[in-house]
Amino acid sequence: MRALSLRAQCSGRDPGGYGEQIALTVSDGWVGQLEASIDVPKRGSCSFQLAHFRQTKRMPFVELLARREGSRCAVRIWTQGDRVTVAPTDCQEMCVSPRVFESVWPIALSARTGSCL
């Protein structure tokens, strides 16, 4: 198993207005850049910046834990076939209101091109 290396910069919006934007750089399992935002229609948005996290794992998946004391927020990044998944969990504090996070989906990227899927 090889550590993840990826450079992604993309954005997208579905017909219902759900949108995502991400700039992500991972080299040999180490995250050098993470700037992501997710917009949930009629609810608000959430944003994730690398400065708010510390990296705790690089293999078999990348794990970033929030620096805030007592937070359970984590962003995990893994590869499955030609797909890279960026999945925030328990990250209500990264949103304009806690209820927004109930509607947040993982961000899916192409492992080959780094584009949004």
For the sheet with 30-40, list strands across it.
6-13, 19-27, 30-40, 44-49
pLDDT at position 91: 97
Which pLDDT tens digit goes with each residue over 28-75? 999 999 999 999 999 999 999 999 999 999 999 999 999 999 999 999
Which ranges of 17-97 would DSSP assign to H, the alpha helix?
A: none
Q: Give the domain ranges of the chain.
A: 6-110
**How far apart are the C-alpha atoms of 101 and 40, rounded to whole Å?**
9
* Strand partners for 95: 46
Q: Give CA–CA dist 83/39, Å, rounded.
A: 22
Q: What per-residue confidence (pLDDT) applies to 111?
A: 94
- In angstroms, rounded to a whole number, what is the distance separating the alpha carbons of residues 82 and 48? 24
Per DSSP bridges, beta strands 53-57 and 44-49 are: unpaired
**Is the pLDDT score of 26 beyond 80?**
yes
Are the CB atoms for 60 and 80 separated by under 8 Å? no
| pTM exceeding 0.85 | yes
Q: How do residues 85-103 score in pLDDT, each as one tens digit?
A: 999 999 999 999 889 999 9
The pLDDT value recorded for residue 83 is 96
In DSSP terms, 65 is beta-bridged to 54, 74
Q: How far is CA 15 from CA 10, 19, 35, 83, in A?
A: 17, 9, 23, 22
Does the pLDDT value for residue 1 go beyond 90? Answer: no
